[in-house]
Structure 1
Amino acid sequence: MTDPSHPPQPTAAGGRSASPGITTTGTTTSRRANRRTVALMLTPALLLLALFLVLPFLLSIGLSVTNYNLLNRRAVTLFVGLANYASILEDERFWQAAWNTARFALVTVPVQSALALLLAVLVNSGLPGRNLFRGVYFLPTVLSMAVVSVIWAGLLRAPQGVLNALVGTLSGGVLGPYDWLGDETLAMPTIIVLSVWQGVGFQMVIYLAGLQSINAELYEAARIDGASRFQQFLHITLPSLRNTHVFVVLATTVLAFKLFGQVDVLTQGGPLDSTNTLVRYLFNSGFREHRVGFASAASVLFFLLVLGITLVQRALVREDREI
């Protein structure tokens, strides 16, 4: 008989008595140990972020409200409030640089992302020599933008450049020669083509990783149901790559707004500021004109602009997921 003063203890699977207190204590201790481990592993990365990102940005905010000049350090640095920001917003060159950067991003982001997805699908198929094509498509990404720009400068040289010779040959001498970098209407499209060619390999690799993570059984079931390749791509591949799309679009947008190297090497912002960008605008203000306070204000505005665009993109993606 069971003693009523000593009720039976609950038993776990297998007939052994459970020990809730010990289990809870052990779980809590394990969680605390995991948290300490995670915090310890994140500390170096967080310190580097604070040292090279957060601290410089805070210093930029402080300098943006002063008239600090890099060339004349003996001059007294004065507090000017929002005067630098007002001067930037009234500067036509700033708005021209902003429009050039926005135009570059509006074309580059969709074109480069779509082309990267197409290349990833091709190299992920069973085509012979696909490993060779992977290396060929990814090779420009490994090269420095300065090196790529110098190579393209020779190809685009007017009027005896390789590209002009090719256009003339293919057209029978009817077309060309063109001043690809000196013509106001051709300079920015040329920069766009160069940038897409150089950067598409990075997005291709990201899409390729996403494609290889899709369950092959989904495609097999679709083939059994009679779905065509295009239907499989439309209803399986694209939805399965949703997170990859988000990453590629956000990363490509940020990289597009950082446009600087190819412009500074090939066109120096010309002709007539038609290829000048926001990064080159603040670089010239700070390091060539030595107006550090003015350039700091420009960098703060640039950061807020990119942050705002990124938040809008994330919001749109979130709404698309909810739908």
Structure 2
Amino acid sequence: MKRQIPGYFFLMPGFLFIFVFMIYPLFYSLHLSFCSYNFAFDTKPVFNGFQNYAKMLTDNYFTAAFANTMFFSALFFSAVMILSLLVAIILDKRVPWSGFFRTSIFLPVVIPLSLTGIVFQWILHQNYGLLNFFLSDLLGLGFLTKNWLGDEHWAMLSLVGVSLWKYMGMLVVLFLAGLQSIPRELYEAATVDGASEFQKAWRITLPNLRESFVICGIWAIIQSIKVFEQPFIMTQGGPGTSTLVLYQYTWENAFKFYEMGYASAIAYVMGAIILILSLLNMKLSRAE
């Protein structure tokens, strides 16, 4: 036992860091979610029960943020999972320049999200954006130009597109790892038995990617529910409330209106949504 004591001392800084910056804030914010606390004016939190959670039911901004987050999540999750899997399958076929394409697809992942938002804010600008210039002046398709970030019908779709460009590389790498772990003998045996490419994909590829679907699905759910930088930088939640999301609304209540209790309650609702969707994804991915 005495020989183990020095080891505990080496572990203490890590445990202290986890407690101070993760465990304590987690439980303190849970306490705040049941309190009324404006840290600019109140001296201490005042317990108010479930009033913060009840307030969400009549808060039009919360309703808009919740609906926008769910719409973004559904669209982003579906698109990133399907496109990433298709790209991974193509790259797994050893196409020419596959190494170059893998690097190019993964490169956006390492670019800071704040810089990504600023660059695409310029690219998608209605008057001097590169996308509208490319469509109208180079291709002569002026009827396709849009106010990508200023039109409520296109703003959220634009944010989904930027998020796909940013995050798809991560899932492509994860799916590629899963594809390359499948024994090639299975495909060879299926070929001998006369199986078509669709049958190989349905009977061999997809069943053997269950764990990859779980990992990629949970990662995509987390990234979609906690989307923040893209709307915060590119649209500021507008036009109107068309791109206001839960994470941004949480930030506004906490650091703009100083309502830490209400912000903590919204944050825990977000956490509950992520947990429920992650468990659902695990159940569906591992189902027979």
**Both structures adopt the same fold (TM-score exceeding 0.5):** yes
Residue in structure 1 matched with residue 28 of structure 2 by the alignment: 59
In the aligned structure 2, how far is the partner of 1:98 from the partner of 1:250?
19
Residue in 2 that maps onto 1:310: 278
Match of 1:135 in 2: 103
What are the Cα deviations for residues 118-176 of structure 1, in whole angstroms up to 9, with x where unaligned? Answer: 11112221212110100000001111111111111111111221111122146625414
| Whole-angstrom distance in 2 between the partners of 1:219 and 1:177 | 46
CA deviation profile, 1:3-40 (whole Å, cap 9, x unmatched): xxxxxxxxxxxxxxxxxxxxxxxxxxxxxxxxxxxx99
Any idea what SS the aligned residue of 2:95 has?
Answer: coil
RMSD after superposition = 2.3
Instruction: Judge conservation of contact 2:210–2:285 (CA < 8 Å) in 1.
Output: no
Q: Deviations over 1:204-261 (max 9, x none)?
A: 0000100111111111112222323333222211111111112111210111001000
Q: Which residue of 2 aligns with 1:145?
A: 113
Residue 3 of structure 2: aligned partner: none
- Counterpart check, 1:216 vs 2:184: yes
1:96 aligns with 2:61: no
Q: Please name the residue that 1:194 is paired with.
A: 162
Aligned pairs for 1:47-126 (under 5 A) are: 49-72=18-41, 75=43, 77-126=45-94
TM-score normalised by the chain length of structure 2:
0.90
Residue pair 2:84, 2:168 contacting (<8 A) in 1 also: yes
CA positional deviation for 1:299: 1.3
Match for residue 270 of structure 1? 238
CA radius of gyration, larger in: 1
Question: What CA distance in whole angstroms lies between the structure 1 residues aligned with 2:74 and 2:136?
Answer: 31
8 Å Cα contact 2:217-2:278 kept in structure 1: no
Q: 1:303 to 1:141 in 2, by over 3 A?
A: same
Calculate the TM-score normalised by the size of structure 1.
0.80
Identity, in percent, stands at 35
- Work out whether residues 237 and 243 of structure 2, in 8 Å CA contact, stay in contact via their aligned partners in 1: yes
Asked if 2 retains the 8 angstrom alpha-carbon contact of 1:159 and 1:177, the reply is: no
CA contact (8 A) 1:146 1:261 kept: yes
- Please tell me whether the aligned partners of residues 213 and 285 of structure 2 are also in contact (alpha carbons under 8 angstroms): no
**Count of matched residue positions in the alignment of Structure 1 and Structure 2:** 281
Cα distance change on mapping 1:41 and 1:252 into 2, 3 Å:
farther
Q: Partners of 1:64 and 1:199 in 2: how far apart?
A: 31
Do the aligned partners of residues 305 and 42 (structure 1) sit closer, same or farther apart at CA in structure 2, a change above 3 Å counting?
Answer: farther
